[in-house]
Amino acid sequence: METAPNPSLPPLPATPAVSYVMPVLNEEDYLARAVTTILAQEYRGEKEIVLALGPSRDRSNEIAREIAAADPRVRLIDNPERDIPAGLNHAIGASTHAVIIRVDAHSELTPDYTERGVAALRDTGAANVGGVMRAAGNSPVQRAIARGYNSPYGLGGGAYHGDGTPGPAESAYLGIFRREAVEAVGGYDPAILRGEDWELNLRIRRAGFAVWFEPALGVTYWPRASFGDLAKQFFATGTWRAVLVRKYGRANPWRFFAPGTLVIALAVSLVVLALQLTTVLPWGWWSLGWLPLALYALGIGFAVWRIPEQRGLRDRALTAVALVTMHTSWGTGFLRGITFGGGRVVDRSRA
């Protein structure tokens, strides 16, 4: 698909009014804190928050109603479809201001996030600006998962998973958008249930707009707190990344293919080992079939040795489990998505 001529965006005023949009589903442990960081933004422009409430099974919607009753800047709308892209579209449609800031109930903005983000929009002429996602955890397992998020050995590739230099980007974490650009490309695709940010930013770039990475923008992200929930999340993510590969082909970066290739290689190694242990295959040269498994084990060991902020053997063991869970769940989901498409695979880790 050819890139359209670069469209011009009207100049932004110094402090444009901003609309924060947030889908909410089963977030009772994080919602109030996330909204608090939005309301505490050191930004002089007018602000509104639109929460798109899905059918939560916990107290999320009750907490949201309490927040809205206490502050008129917070408005609530329904998201009966439950899915994140649909919720974002509902919230964007109900919002009113020129700058749209996507926020997540699992995230906390630094106090200067809005000020810096709007300045970057104005100075660069970009249609979307994003910063760095810094994962954090409270429990030992959640901290291990956060280390995986923050390390190139865990997710790797995206600039927003680590510090870097400002510049044009493939995608952006969350995002601070010009409304004109979002409306020009039709908003989020409700059929893409995961990877919706990358897909929207691809269409924004293909429309000729710019996406910009600004490392001065910081967001604290609270990941899943159990390995089971992490596996569910990453299986869904891998499945929908494969859908994006099926839909957009070479527009996808090579790193999308790595976890699926890893899972196939590990499966071959395990099959060879099992056949040798049952004497179906001889030892000798067939033992080379273990090579992918051995190399992966060495790679995990190297990654665990290199990743900082670990204390003792327990932390290192948990980090190793987090990395393996990320890689294999993502890769298995990717193979499922390449073979069968996305279907109704959704992230049930918040249910």
Average pLDDT over residues 141-157: 89
Q: Which pTM does this prediction carry?
A: 0.90
Tens-place pLDDT, residues 188-200:
999 999 999 999 9
Q: Which of 113-127, 160-174, 335-349 shows the highest mean pLDDT?
A: 113-127
Q: Given 190, 225, 260, which residue is the final one in a domain?
A: 225
Do 29 and 167 reside in the same domain of the chain? yes
Asked if 116 and 196 sit in the same domain, the reply is yes
Report yes or no on 350 lying in a domain. no
Looking at 225, 259, 283, the residue that finishes a domain is 225
The pLDDT confidence band at residue 44, using thresholds 50, 70 and 90, is: very high
| Per-residue model confidence (pLDDT) at position 349 | 76
Residue 189 lies in a domain: yes
Number of CB atoms found within 10 A of residue 348's CB:
11
67 shares a domain with 28: yes
Give the domain extent around 299: 247-340
pLDDT for 1 beyond 60? no
Note the pLDDT tens digit of each residue in 211-224: 999 999 989 999 99
Same domain, yes or no, for 122 and 167? yes
Q: Which band of pLDDT confidence, cut at 50, 70 and 90, is reported for residue 50?
A: very high
pLDDT for 348: 76
Answer yes or no: do 27 and 127 share one domain. yes
Asked whether residue 349 is assigned to any structural domain, the reply reads no
In a domain, 230, yes or no: no
The Cα 66–Cα 79 span in angstroms is 18
Task: Indicate whether 280 belongs to any domain.
Answer: yes
Q: What is the pLDDT of residues 284-303, one digit of tens each?
A: 888 899 899 999 999 999 99
Residues 221 and 251 in one domain: no
Rounded to an integer, the average pLDDT of 35-56 is 96
CA end-to-end span of the chain: 38
pLDDT tens-digit map of 94-148: 999 999 999 999 999 999 999 999 999 999 999 999 999 999 999 999 999 999 9
Whether 99 is covered by a domain: the verdict is yes
CATH of the domain at 191: 3.90.550.10
What integer best gives the mean pLDDT of the chain?
92
Of 193, 225, 257, which residue is a domain's last?
225
What are the pLDDT digits (tens) for 69-93?
A: 999 999 999 999 999 999 999 999 9
Looking at residue 168, its amino acid is: P
The verdict on 258 and 209 lying in the same domain is no
Quote the number of domains for the chain: 2
The answer to whether residues 228 and 274 touch, using CB atoms and an 8 Å cutoff, is no
Task: Note the pLDDT of residue 325.
Answer: 98
pLDDT for 156 equals 61
The one-letter amino acid at 164? G
Q: Residue 327: inside a domain, yes or no?
A: yes
Instruction: Let me know whether 142 and 191 are in one domain.
Output: yes
Digit-coded pLDDT (tens) for 223-267: 999 999 999 999 999 999 999 999 998 888 888 899 999 999 999
Concatenating the DSSP letter of every residue in 65-128 gives HHHHHH-TTEEEEE-TT--HHHHHHHHHHH--SSEEEE--TTEEE-TTHHHHHHHHHHHH--SE
Whether residue 135 sits in one domain with residue 66: yes
Residues 176 and 303 in one domain: no
Do 136 and 251 sit in the same domain of this protein? Answer: no
Does any domain span residue 66? yes
Same domain? 184 vs 50: yes
Q: Mean pLDDT lowest for which of 8-22, 101-115, 337-351? A: 337-351
